[in-house]
Amino acid sequence: MTREPEIYCPACQWHPRGDSRWICARSKGGCGTRWNTFWTGGCCPGCGHHWETTQCLVCKKVSPHVDWYHFPPEEEAQREKAREVTA
Ligand SMILES: [Zn+2]
Ligand SMILES: [Zn+2]
């Protein structure tokens, strides 16, 4: 079983939807492409620019892109493992 990280805003816990769109900001040298940044891990499909930060569409806070990925705590993962072994 592969563990998928949960993706949500580190500031307000908003979960991006499949139809959520971000813009490769022209004001920051981007190309204006609109896409879902979590499909590409922050990489613009238009110009290939890798965005280190992602702005929340709801609370507008800019956070490092990696902070949006929430992996299960290590302890929880090990407990799951133990359960699989004994099951
Ligand atoms: Zn937010
Ligand atoms: Zn771009």
Residue 35 lies in a domain: yes
CA–centroid distance, residue 18 to ligand 2 (Å): 19
User: For position 78, what pLDDT does the model report?
Assistant: 72
Residue 69 lies in a domain: yes
CA–centroid distance, residue 1 to ligand 1 (Å): 29
Containing domain of residue 44, as a range? 6-86
Q: What are phi and psi of 26, to 5 degrees?
A: -65, -30
Q: Give the ranges where 1-87 is alpha helix by DSSP (H).
A: 74-86
User: For position 85, what pLDDT does the model report?
Assistant: 65
Residue 56 lies in a domain: yes
* Surrounding residues of ion ligand 1, Cβ less than 5 A: 9, 11-12, 14, 56, 58-59
Average pLDDT over residues 18-24: 97
